[in-house]
């Protein structure tokens, strides 16, 4: 509802006579292509999930199960603050299939968060080129200056936590102990008990995760390589939705700038504390489209982007979650104890 309200206001403010001419010239085939790109994104992500699960342990998932699980994750991500919430939901469903929690965590972390390393290198590359005097459009440079520092916060955190967890496990455990002790001193009763339980579980599963990820890196490198590559391609397919919208409304310059800016905008939107990145997603892409399109196309471009990338997958995922309610779904085996 909030997203619809923001889009409605944006459309009302930006719409002019030129808008409707542009909408008519956009073409049905380009509108269809938006949803094709979104389906390709879901398909690539589900294939990556299946490769990482089936290539690392005995429990297997089918292609249909992987696709269903991926689409359901989109639905959950729209309901819970921080859109990455769909990632632990997928890990939960994998444990219901019998995959050990630490291994499930390793798989979904590779699929959901390790691409942050890719975005980190994009950020480093864009910053380096800017420092060396790379000249883009004024709008692109301004957007980069705003989004770059915001994107650095979650990306640096992700990279730092991965490095500490993998190379300095004892230090990671001390960090978890310190945070848990700090919170326990300020909470009482069941809340403090839950914190202690979470601390123990996180330390146990972090060791299993490190073992799983280390095994992937040492003994199943090609599985890890293909999994990461497929996920990166899935993100690129996601970014193609906005690029198709730009193309449909007459943008004909290089697509490198729009692709780089979306790589930096994605971590910011993913880490926002609102359900479905409400307001932050709209605000980010209003600024994004304003860089490359005339003002009278910004509102309709925002609507197309939201519908293709969020509303359509959310609706499909909601149907699958509703279907799962009342049936056993992935409960073929009880989750293994840690």
Please write the tens of the pLDDT for every residue from 274-304.
776 777 788 889 999 999 999 999 999 999 9
Cut 0.75: pTM above it: yes
pLDDT bucket at 136, cuts 50 / 70 / 90: low
Give domain status of residue 329, yes or no. Answer: no
What is the pLDDT at residue 334? 46
Give domain status of residue 29, yes or no. Answer: yes
Give domain status of residue 332, yes or no. Answer: no
- Looking at the structure of the chain, the number of domains it has is 1
Give domain status of residue 338, yes or no. Answer: no
Please write the tens of the pLDDT for every residue from 229-280.
999 999 999 999 999 999 999 998 888 889 999 998 888 888 776 776 777 7
What residues make up the domain containing 279? Answer: 2-324
Closest among 266, 282, 5, 297 to 120, alpha carbons compared: 266
Give domain status of residue 336, yes or no. Answer: no
Task: Please give the full DSSP string across 186-253, using - where no structure is assigned.
Answer: H--HHHHHHHHHHHHHHHHHHHHHHHHHHHHHHH-HHHHHHHHHHHHHHHHHHHHHHHHHHHHTT--S
Measured distance CA(38)–CA(3) in Å, rounded: 19
Give domain status of residue 320, yes or no. Answer: yes
**Residue 275: both structure tokens together:** 């359900």
Give domain status of residue 334, yes or no. Answer: no
Report the length, in residues, of the chain: 338
What is the pLDDT at residue 336? 47
Measured distance CA(225)–CA(216) in Å, rounded: 9
Q: Report the pLDDT averaged over residues 50-77.
A: 83
With H, G, I as helix, E, B as strand and everything else as coil, classify residue 275: strand
Q: Exposed (0-12), middle (13-18) or buried (19+): which is 58, by Cβ within 10 Å?
A: exposed
Give domain status of residue 58, yes or no. Answer: yes
What is the pLDDT at residue 39? 94
């Amino acid at each position: 509802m909030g997203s619809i309200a923001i889009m409605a206001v944006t459309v009302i403010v930006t719409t002019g006579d030129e808008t409707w001419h542009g909408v008519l010239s956009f073409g049905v085939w380009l509108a269809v292509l938006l949803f094709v790109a979104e389906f390709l994104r879901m398909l690539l992500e589900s294939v990556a999930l299946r490769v990482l699960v089936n290539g690392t342990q005995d429990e297997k998932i089918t292609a249909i199960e992987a696709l269903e699980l991926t689409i359901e994750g989109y639905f959950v991500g729209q309901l819970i603050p921080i859109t990455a919430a769909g990632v632990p939901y997928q890990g939960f469903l994998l444990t219901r299939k019998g995959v050990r929690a630490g291994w499930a965590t390793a798989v979904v972390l590779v699929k959901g968060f390790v691409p942050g390393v890719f975005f980190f290198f994009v950020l480093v590359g864009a910053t380096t080129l800017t420092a060396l005097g790379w000249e883009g459009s004024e709008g692109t440079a301004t957007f980069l200056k705003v989004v770059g520092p915001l994107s650095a916060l979650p990306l640096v955190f992700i990279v730092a936590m991965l490095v500490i967890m993998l190379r300095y496990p004892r230090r990671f455990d001390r960090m978890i102990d310190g945070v848990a002790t700090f919170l326990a001193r300020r909470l009482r009763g069941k809340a403090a008990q839950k914190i202690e339980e979470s601390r123990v579980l996180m330390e146990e599963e972090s060791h299993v995760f490190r073992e799983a990820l280390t095994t992937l890196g040492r003994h199943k490198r090609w599985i890890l390589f293909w999994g990461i590559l497929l996920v990166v391609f899935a993100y690129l397919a996601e970014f193609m939705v906005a690029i198709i919208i730009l193309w449909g409304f007459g943008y004909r310059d290089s697509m490198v700038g729009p692709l780089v800016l979306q790589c930096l905008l994605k971590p910011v939107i993913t880490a926002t504390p609102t359900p479905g990145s409400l307001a932050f997603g709209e605000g980010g892409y209003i600024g994004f489209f304003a860089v490359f399109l005339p003002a009278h196309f910004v509102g309709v471009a925002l609507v197309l982007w939201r519908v293709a990338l969020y509303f359509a997958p959310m609706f499909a995922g909601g149907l699958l979650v509703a279907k799962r309610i009342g049936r056993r779904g992935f409960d073929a085996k009880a989750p293994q104890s840690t």
